[in-house]
């Protein structure tokens, strides 16, 4: 390892410069856009003054997209918890060829582009009752796409805490399978459940590939609104909307890092 005080070779500076350029490529547009959302006139630059009027305009124009996205994200989270937690436990309890296949099956929806999944959902369920015009249709798509993330996070956690051993202890005391699941397994898998939940929530809020096909004019989510603003609003409004999105998503990202480190301490540095 190179020491800080040592004279650094040319190779170090080459790597350093490349890394700085890459970091700038990623971070400069994000910062520029945040600033543009707070600037009176982006074309004239920051010297035209800072303002919150674009953010206010976004909040009056697009508030319903923010609430709908939050509602869908909460529904998706509940759905992935209700069907995902028992599934994760079943996959860990008795690993076999069949559970491997089942895990592969549940994971399939993230290997296929959202556009294709959305088309197939419309073809089969588009005519069923009022599902097509309901936000529930979008929540179904999101559950399909986020379920694997919940299941994997909890499965990894259950493996790490050796849940099967825990269960045997509880079984020897005479508790039934479902009592053991609720009272022993779930409390011990909390870090994995938390990490999975944050992931599911964040992915649902940002999901566009499925949502664009599944949405209707009355069920516009935040990313659908973003695309609308990118296409038809001035750059300041589009930037302010993106800023609102960042403000929502950044605390979630920080929490994911923190929960991930808690769920698998061995992997964190």
Partner 1 sequence: MAAHLLKHIRSDILLITPAALFVLAFFALPMAQLVLVGASGDSGWLAYTSVLTNPRHREVMIATLLLSLAVTLTTLILATAAALFLGRSRFPGRSILIAMLTFPLAFPGVVVGFMVIILAGRQGLIGKVTDAAGMDKLVFAYSMGGLFLGYLYFSLPRVLLTVMSAVETIDPSLGEAARSLGAKPHHLLRDVMLPALRPAMIAAGAIAFATSMGAFGTAFTLATDIDVLPMLIYTEFTLQANFAAAGALSIILGIVTWVALFIARQLGGDGVAAAG
Site for partner 1 in 72-131 (CB under 8 A): 82-84, 86-87, 89-91, 93-94, 102, 105-117, 119-121, 123-125
Asked if 18 touches partner 1 (CB under 8 A), the answer is: yes
Asked if 52 touches partner 1 (CB under 8 A), the answer is: no
Give the residue, chosen from 59, 166, 208, 248, that forms a contact with partner 1 under the rule CB under 8 A.
Answer: 208
Asked if 217 touches partner 1 (CB under 8 A), the answer is: no
- Give the residue with the Cβ less far from partner 1, 52 or 108: 108
Closest contact distance (angstroms) between CB of 167 and partner 1 is 11
CA distance 63 to 136: 19
- Give the residue with the Cβ less far from partner 1, 36 or 194: 36
Q: How many CB atoms lie within 10 A of CB 219?
A: 21
CA distance 217 to 13: 53
Nearest to 242 by CA among 255, 256, 228, 257: 228
**Which window, 50-58, 70-78, 135-143, 258-266, contacts partner 1 (CB under 8 A)?**
135-143
# chain residues binding partner 1, by CB under 8 A: 89
Q: At what angle do helices 53-93 and 135-160 cross, to 10 degrees?
A: 50
**Which window, 46-54, 66-74, 128-136, 140-148, contacts partner 1 (CB under 8 A)?**
140-148
Asked if 70 touches partner 1 (CB under 8 A), the answer is: no
Q: Tokens 């096909």 identify what position?
A: 213
Asked if 253 touches partner 1 (CB under 8 A), the answer is: yes
Closest contact distance (angstroms) between CB of 269 and partner 1 is 8
Closest contact distance (angstroms) between CB of 142 and partner 1 is 10
Asked if 29 touches partner 1 (CB under 8 A), the answer is: yes
Task: Please give the DSSP secondary-structure letter assigned to residue 269.
Answer: -
Asked if 238 touches partner 1 (CB under 8 A), the answer is: yes
Give the residue, chosen from 227, 247, 251, 265, that forms a contact with partner 1 under the rule CB under 8 A.
Answer: 227
Asked if 135 touches partner 1 (CB under 8 A), the answer is: no
Asked if 247 touches partner 1 (CB under 8 A), the answer is: no
* Residue spans of alpha helices (H) in the chain: 10-36, 53-93, 97-107, 114-125, 135-160, 163-172, 177-180, 186-188, 190-206, 209-214, 222-232, 235-263
Residues 144-203 that bind partner 1 (CB under 8 A): 144-145, 147-149, 151, 177-178, 181, 202-203
> What are the φ and ψ backbone dihedral angles of 50, each rounded to 5 degrees?
-105, 145
Nearest to 73 by CA among 233, 201, 162, 236: 201
Q: How many CB atoms lie within 10 A of CB 92?
A: 22
Query: Is residue 244 within 8 Å of residue 112, measured between CB atoms?
Result: no
């Amino acid at each position: 390892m190179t020491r800080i005080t040592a004279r650094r070779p040319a190779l170090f500076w080459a790597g350093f410069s490349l890394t700085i350029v890459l970091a700038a490529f990623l971070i400069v547009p994000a910062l520029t856009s945040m600033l543009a959302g707070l600037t009176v006139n982006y074309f004239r630059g920051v010297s035209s003054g800072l303002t919150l009027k674009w953010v206010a305009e976004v909040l009056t124009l697009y508030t319903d997209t923010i609430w709908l996205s939050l509602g869908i994200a909460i529904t998706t989270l509940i759905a992935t918890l209700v069907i995902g937690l028992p599934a994760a436990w079943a996959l860990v309890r008795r690993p076999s060829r069949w559970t491997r296949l089942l895990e592969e099956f549940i994971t399939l929806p993230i290997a296929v582009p959202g556009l294709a999944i959305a088309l197939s959902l419309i073809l089969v369920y588009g005519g069923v009752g009022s599902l097509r015009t309901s936000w529930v249709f979008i929540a179904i798509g999101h559950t399909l796409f986020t379920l694997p993330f919940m299941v994997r996070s909890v499965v990894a956690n259950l493996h790490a805490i050796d849940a099967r051993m825990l269960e045997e202890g509880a079984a020897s005391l005479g508790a039934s399978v479902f009592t053991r699941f609720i009272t022993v397994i779930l409390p011990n898998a909390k870090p994995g459940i938390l990490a999975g939940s944050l992931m599911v929530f964040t992915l649902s809020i940002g999901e566009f590939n499925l949502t664009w096909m599944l949405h209707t004019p009355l069920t516009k989510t935040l990313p659908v609104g973003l695309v609308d603003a990118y296409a038809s609003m001035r750059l300041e409004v589009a930037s302010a909307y993106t800023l609102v999105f960042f403000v929502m998503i950044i605390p979630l990202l920080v929490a994911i890092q923190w929960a991930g480190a808690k769920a698998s301490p061995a992997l964190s540095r």
